[in-house]
C-alpha cells in the first residue's frame, strides 16, 4: 500500500494529477523568482494576527462572543491540520478528543467545583492526549503500517461511538448534555463571555500556533513531510513511521482537548454533538477550505467558514447550508490546496528544512 495514502489524499483534494503537480511546482518556482526570496507566509500571519488583535475593538459585543468561539474552533482546526495536513493521517474523528475534554472539564466543574483555569485547561489537554494515545495506539501502532481506510474508519467509528455513548449515558446528561457549567476562574476572577475571554483564547492560540510552527519547521517536520508523501519509502530509510504517526496523533489530540475545554467553558454547556461525527467533519472542512499543510490556512479556513455560515444563516435562513456546501465544493474542486494557495506558492508551502535554507534565502 505504498501509494494508497496519496491516492486517498488526491481523491479528497480533487484532481491532483502528476502533471498538475509538475505545473504547480513550475508556477511556484516562477512565483518564487518574481518575489526574489520574499516570503508570503509571515506577511499573511502578521495580517491575521493584527486583524485578530483589533477585532474586539471594532466588533459589537455579540460579535466578539462569536469571534471567541471562532478562535477556539481555529485552535481545534490546528490540531486536525497537524494530523492530516502535516502527517497525512486521516483522522475523521478529531471531535472525539475535543468533545471528551469538554465533557471532562464540565464534570470537573459540576461534580468537584473545579474551575480554576490552571487546573481545568491542563486537565482538558491531558484528556485529549490520553484518548488520542489510546485510539492512536490501537489504530497506528501495529508492527506493520495500518491502511488509510482502517485509520479513517477507526477514528470515525470512535467519534460516532462516543456520540452514542454520551447520548445514552444519564451521568453525562444524555441527549441534553451538561448545561450551566460554572465559568472558568482565576482566583476571584471569572472568565465570562467578552473581550477578556477573547484575548485569553487568542493568547493561547498564538502560543500553540508558535509551538506548532516550531515543530513543523524542525527536522521532525521534515520527517513528517516524508511520512505524508511516502510512508513506505521512509520506513526503508529506517524511520519508525508508526511511532512518528502516533506521536503527532497524540499531540493533535492534546491540542483538540485544550480547544474542547475552552469551548465548554465559553459556551457554558456541552452536548453529544461535540464528540460526534458532525463536529469531526466540520473541522475537516475548515482545514480543506483554508489550506491543509499550512498552519495559517487552518486558521483562515475556520474564520471564513464560520463567518460565511454566520452571515448566510442571517440572510438566507432556509437555504444557507446548500450555499455553503456549494462554496466548499467549488474551493475543493478548483483549489485543492485551499484558499491560501491563491497567495502561497507550492515551494514555500512545503518549505525548506536544511541548515542551508538561510543562505539560500539571502542568495540573489
Instruction: Write the CB contacts of 106 (distance below 8 Å, at least 6 apart in sequence).
Output: 178, 181, 264, 269, 270
Binding-site member from 47, 232, 316, 325 for another protein (CB under 8 A):
232
For residue 37, state whether it binds another protein (rule: CB under 8 A). no
* The only residue of 173, 226, 260, 291 in contact with another protein, by rule CB under 8 A: 226
Q: Is the Cβ–Cβ distance between 203 and 52 less than 8 Å? A: no
At residue 191, what are phi and psi to the nearest 5 degrees? -85, 105
CA angle 296, 10, 2 (to 5 degrees): 110
CB under 8 A: which stretch of 88-96, 280-288, 296-304, 342-350 binds another protein?
Answer: 342-350
Residue 21: strand, helix, or coil: helix
Cα–Cα dist 303/307, whole Å: 6
- What is the C-alpha to C-alpha distance for residues 299 and 74, in angstroms, rounded to an integer? 5
Q: Residue 352, by phi and psi: left (phi above 0), alpha (psi -120 to 50) or beta?
A: beta
> Measured from the CB atom, is 164 or 360 closer to another protein?
360
The least CB distance from residue 294 to another protein, in Å, is 13
Q: What minimum distance in Å lies between the beta carbon of 249 and another protein?
A: 14
Closest CB to another protein among residues 188, 238? 238
Q: Could you tell me the smallest distance in angstroms from the CB atom of residue 168 to another protein?
A: 40
241 binds another protein (CB under 8 A): yes
Distance in Å, CB of 244 to another protein, minimum: 8
Site for another protein in 132-171 (CB under 8 A): 143-144
For residue 87, the SS3 value is: coil
According to CB under 8 A, which one of 12, 63, 247, 304 is a site residue for another protein? 247
- Determine, following the binding rule CB under 8 A, whether residue 192 of this chain makes contact with another protein: no
Q: Which residue is associated with the grid cell 452571515?
A: 311
Stretch that binds another protein, among 45-53, 87-95, 99-107, 212-220 (CB under 8 A): 212-220
Piece of the chain touching another protein by CB under 8 A; list 190-198, 215-223, 267-275, 284-292:
215-223
Nine-digit cell at 58?
471594532
d(CA 239, CA 243): 9
Q: Give the chain's end-to-end CA distance (angstroms, integer).
A: 42
Q: CA–CA separation, 158 vs 93, rounded Å?
A: 6
Size of the site for another protein (CB under 8 A): 40
- Residues of this chain that interact with another protein (CB under 8 A) are 2, 21-22, 25-26, 28-29, 143-144, 215, 218-220, 222-223, 225-226, 229-230, 232-241, 243, 247, 346-347, 350, 352-356, 360
Amino acid at each position: 500500500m505504498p501509494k494508497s495514502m496519496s491516492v486517498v489524499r488526491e481523491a479528497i483534494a480533487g484532481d491532483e494529477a502528476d502533471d498538475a503537480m509538475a505545473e504547480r511546482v513550475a508556477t511556484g518556482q516562477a512565483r518564487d523568482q518574481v518575489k526574489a526570496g520574499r516570503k508570503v507566509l509571515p506577511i499573511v500571519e502578521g495580517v491575521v494576527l493584527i486583524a485578530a488583535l483589533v477585532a474586539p475593538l471594532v466588533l459589537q459585543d455579540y460579535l466578539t462572543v462569536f469571534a471567541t468561539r471562532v478562535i477556539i474552533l481555529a485552535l481545534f482546526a490546528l490540531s486536525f491540520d497537524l494530523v492530516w495536513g502535516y502527517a497525512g493521517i486521516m483522522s475523521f474523528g478529531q471531535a472525539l478528543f475535543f468533545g471528551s475534554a469538554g465533557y471532562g472539564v464540565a464534570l470537573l466543574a459540576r461534580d468537584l467545583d473545579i474551575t480554576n483555569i490552571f487546573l481545568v485547561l491542563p486537565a482538558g489537554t491531558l484528556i485529549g492526549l490520553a484518548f488520542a494515545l489510546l485510539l492512536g495506539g490501537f489504530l497506528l501502532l501495529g508492527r506493520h503500517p495500518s491502511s488509510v481506510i482502517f485509520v479513517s474508519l477507526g477514528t470515525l467509528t470512535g467519534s460516532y461511538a462516543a456520540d452514542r455513548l454520551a447520548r445514552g449515558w444519564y451521568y453525562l446528561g444524555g441527549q441534553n448534555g451538561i448545561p450551566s457549567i460554572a465559568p472558568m476562574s482565576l482566583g476571584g476572577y471569572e472568565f465570562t463571555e467578552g473581550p477578556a475571554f477573547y484575548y485569553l483564547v487568542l493568547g493561547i492560540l498564538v502560543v500553540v500556533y508558535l509551538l506548532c510552527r516550531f515543530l513543523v519547521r524542525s527536522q521532525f517536520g521534515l520527517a513528517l513531510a516524508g511520512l505524508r508523501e511516502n510512508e513506505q519509502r521512509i520506513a526503508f530509510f529506517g524511520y519508525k513511521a508508526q511511532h512518528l504517526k502516533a506521536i503527532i496523533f497524540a499531540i493533535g489530540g492534546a491540542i483538540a482537548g485544550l480547544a474542547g475545554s475552552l469551548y465548554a467553558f465559553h459556551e457554558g454547556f456541552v452536548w453529544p454533538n461535540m464528540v460526534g461525527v458532525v463536529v469531526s467533519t466540520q473541522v475537516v472542512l475548515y482545514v480543506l477550505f483554508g489550506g491543509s499543510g499550512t498552519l495559517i490556512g487552518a486558521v483562515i479556513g475556520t474564520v471564513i467558514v464560520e463567518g460565511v455560515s454566520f452571515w448566510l444563516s442571517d440572510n438566507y435562513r432556509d437555504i444557507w447550508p446548500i450555499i455553503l456546501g456549494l462554496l466548499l465544493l467549488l474551493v475543493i474542486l478548483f483549489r485543492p490546496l485551499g484558499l491560501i494557495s491563491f497567495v502561497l506558492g507550492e515551494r514555500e508551502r512545503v518549505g525548506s528544512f536544511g541548515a542551508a535554507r538561510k543562505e539560500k534565502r539571502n542568495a540573489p
